[in-house]
Structure 1
Amino acid sequence: MRIVHVTDCFAPRTGGIESQVGDLAAAQARAGDEVHVTTATFGAQGQHGGAVEETRGVRVHRLGSRFTGGLPVNPWSGPRLMRAVLRDVRPDVVHVHAGLVAPFAYDGARTARAAGIPTVVTWHSMLDGGIPVLRAGSKVLGWRSSRMVPTAVSHAAARRVEKVLGLAPGEVPVVPDAIDVAAWHAVAARRETDPAAPVRFVTTMRLEPRKRGRHLVEAFAQALRALPDGAARLTIIGAGSEDALLRSRVARLGLGDRVTMAGRLTREEVTAAYATADVFCSPAILEAFGIAALEARSAGLAVVARRGTGVEEFVDHEVEGLLVSSDDELAGAMVRLVRDRALLGRLLEHNRDHAPRFTWDVVTQRAAEAYAEASARG
């Protein structure tokens, strides 16, 4: 099968969509498909304007413009370059990867629709705040076209897409994110748990407002007020615009000896941190999937996360972790796991013994099913 992926953002930029599109394309290429990625993101050496490179068996078409200041958009020549790629490649299907703001992806969907090519669109974000505008734009962009199959990375995200498109509940299929589960699950086998030691909470996130790192710090401080001194520790892994703010908040709350701001770590350093941690915390409300939480869950950690997010795809309450509905409940869940070591032990044992099923074999099959549906709609 010839597949063309369309994404605003791609490597060398880093982020959820970038990594997921790259890994999905590489998995499909390994399976024998001819796979292309079109993106408005410049290459590592500044490639753009239609430059083509090959990585991991995937041909990457850099369609960005030098007039955008490096932003992954190209409203000027992007549609023309996209039409040229589709004409030359003649794909069996176009797979568009979209977020709330994704002008290049939306241009790609419109171009594929105009060319009569079966198209799958996967939304990687929750769309909150943009549903009315997207609902109006969906008619112009033809998102309810008979040859376009809308999908989302989780059931939580799918519910937003259904509102945008005016579809009934359950009409938007899920093509979830995936990771190398086996590599992360290997960490679970070497994790060390000392029942007498403090409970070690950890999070990995971009330190940006929507990830709600400040709320996690405040919830942790609230939990500590209900616990004996030295009962818990928190490590925050990541970097971003709120780094200084979080460090200031930690100091102001007097948590300097109980909260570690680890900064950005390599994957090897993250796995080492997980090998000595107990609980992963995901405070974000608008988490469409939760790759970092899935990595931690695969590594054997218990997970505390918000209800109504994509984390519910792989965390059931009191099975793989605890699900909460507010920041007060987040603090309460921390207290509960410190006080109830038997519960924490059961969660850790379950996650050690049962790896999640979000592997690339599973996800490429889900994508293939969506492609078949788009083609069948003719």
Structure 2
Amino acid sequence: MRIALVSDVYLPQLGGIELQVHDLAVQLIRAGHDVTVYTLSEGPSDDVPVVRLPSTAGFPVRAAVDRLRGELTSYDIVHAHSSIVSPLAWRAARLARAAIVTVHSLPGPTMPWPLAQLDRYVGDVGWTAVSAAVASVMRRSLPGRVVDVLHNGVDRAAWRPAARQPHPLTIVSTMRLARRKRPLALLDTLAAIRAMVPSGIRLRGVIAGSGPRERALESRRRDLAPWVELPGRLTRFELRELYASADVYLAPAELESFGVAALEARCAGLPVVAMSTGGVGEFIRNGVEGFLVDTDAEMARTTAALLTQPAVLDRLQVHNRHTTPRMTWERVVAQHVAAYQAQLVLRERALASAS
């Protein structure tokens, strides 16, 4: 199958959509498909075919749209990857012969999300979401429309934990240091955990990542929790090494559409304590792979209790090290290909009925 993956953002920018689109392209190519990525992100050549289109202020210019119009019709399916605002992905879906749009983001409670207008703009596409949490919100905005779930994927073998070494009880998290991910709230939670765990127990905290809140986080860390480390952005290899000397992973974002970083940590054997409002609940069950909580205070209490109950902590770690989540790439690629084929069938039926 000839497939175009379209995403406004892509590597070398780092983020959930950027990495997932790249990894999906790699996995589809390995499965024998002909795949090209179209994006507005500038950068060097990639290990998959990439067309980098010109833009102004985040919007494709006329030359970019003309190229989309001329090339997308040669693909069997166009898979557009959308965040809250993704003009390239939306234009590609409108121009394609057959298209699927996957939404990767959860809108905030006060954020306008004109999904019904977007549905009219892009035309007869297949709507999908990266999690049931996102799909539920979309269905409320698109009554009568089918919204399927196409999960993000994980390479479990790549996150298999290295040999663990003696270390202090360690709490980790990795994220883009932006307001939406709530890094400052996480730092407050870590300080609360320290106050709840007996002072004789040594704790280490690590918040990996970079972003616009980096300077504010460092300033507050010095005053509030000097025992917390901020190593900056880490490679996947460096994260795997970090997880091998860690004990629990925290996911504080309240609008986490899926939670790839949490899934990777879970594959590395770490129990995950996450907010219950997002997509993490699709691979974390209370008392099995970790815990889902409703508030920062509950996250602090739950994590402190876990760190002071070695038998419970060990049981969750063993379970996560030795069980495979549903979102492996083998399953996720099969899920995507089935969705592509179904959309092609619908498109052919629509053309037949119109003729």
Q: Is the 8 A contact 1:2 1:35 kept in 2?
A: yes
Q: Does 1:73 align with 2:59?
A: yes
Shift of residue 246, structure 1, vs aligned partner: 1.2
TM-score w.r.t. the length of structure 1 is 0.86
Gaps of 5+ in 2: 348-355
Aligned to 1:62: 52
- In structure 2, the residue matched to 1:251 is 222
**Structure 1, unpaired ranges of 5+:** 45-52
Task: Say which is worse superposed, 35-44 or 175-184, in terms of deviation.
Answer: 35-44
**Shift in CA distance, 293/132, structure 1 to aligned 2, threshold 3 Å:** closer
Q: Secondary structure at 2:62's aligned position in 1?
A: coil
1:49 corresponds in structure 2 to none
The residue identity in structure 1 corresponding to 2:160 is H
Counterpart in the other structure of 2:135: 158
Q: The residue matched to 1:260 in structure 2 has which SS?
A: strand
| Residues 152-161 or 275-284, more deviating | 152-161
Which segment is superposed worse, 156-165 or 277-286? 156-165
Establish whether residue 229 from structure 1 lines up as the match of residue 199 from structure 2. yes
- Percent identity of paired positions between Structure 1 and Structure 2: 40
2:242 counterpart of 1:273 = yes
Moved more, 95-104 or 75-84: 75-84
CA contact (8 A) 1:9 1:72 kept: no
Would you say 1:118 and 2:98 are equivalent positions?
yes
Counterpart contact for 1:4–1:94, Cα < 8 Å: yes
Q: Give the Cα–Cα distance (whole angstroms) in 1 for the partners of residues 58 and 49 of structure 2.
A: 18
Paired AA for residue 313 in structure 1: E
Partner of 1:48: none
User: Residues 79 and 111 of structure 1 are in contact (CA less than 8 Å); yes or no, is this contact kept in structure 2?
Assistant: no
State the partner residue of 2:117.
136
The answer to whether the 8 Å contact 2:16/2:260 transfers is yes
Partner of 2:88: 104
Alignment-mate amino acid for residue 259 of structure 1: V
Letter in 2 for 1:109: A
Task: Name the residue aligned to 1:183.
Answer: 158
Q: Aligned-pair distance for 1:132?
A: 4.2
1:214 aligns with 2:214: no
CA distance in 2, matches of 1:347, 1:365: 29
Per-residue CA deviation, residues 138-187 of structure 1 (Å, 9 max, x unaligned), is: 22332xx2xx211111111111221222247xx42211111221110243
Q: Is the 1:206–1:238 contact (alpha carbons within 8 Å) kept by the matching residues of 2?
A: yes
Report what 1:287 is aligned to. Answer: 256
Aligned mates of 1:119, 1:210 — CA distance in 2: 29
Whether the 8 Å CA contact 2:243–2:265 is kept in 1: the answer is yes
Is this contact kept in 2: 1:41–1:73, CA < 8 A? no
One-letter amino acid matched to 1:274: Y
Q: Distance in 2 between matches of 1:208 and 1:153?
A: 21
* Contact 1:152 1:176 (8 Å CA) reproduced: yes
State the 1:343 CA deviation. Answer: 1.4
The range that moved more, 281-290 or 358-367, is 358-367
Deviation per CA, 1:83-111: give whole Å up to 9, x if none: 11124xx1111111101010111111111
SS at match of 1:225: helix
CA distance in 2, matches of 1:205, 1:369: 31
Pairwise CA distance, 1:43: 3.3
The CA distance in 1 between the partners of 2:245 and 2:68, in whole Å, is 48
C-alpha distance in 2 between matches for 1:326 and 1:15: 25
Q: For residue 82 of structure 1, report the CA deviation from its aligned partner.
A: 0.4
Residue type matched to 2:143 in 1?
Answer: G
- 1:357-372 alignment runs, 5 A limit: 357-372=326-341
Q: Which residue of 1 aligns with 2:352?
A: none
Deviations 1:321-349 (A, max 9, x none): 01100111111111211222221111111
Instruction: Confirm or deny: 8 A CA contact 2:84 2:113 kept in the other structure.
Output: no
Cα distance between partner residues in 1 of 2:206 and 2:295: 21
CA–CA distance in 1 between the matches of 2:240 and 2:277?
27
CA drift at 1:230: 4.5
- Letter of the 1:175 partner, please give it: L
Paired residues of 1:198 and 1:230 also in contact (CA < 8 A) = no
Letter in 2 for 1:335: A
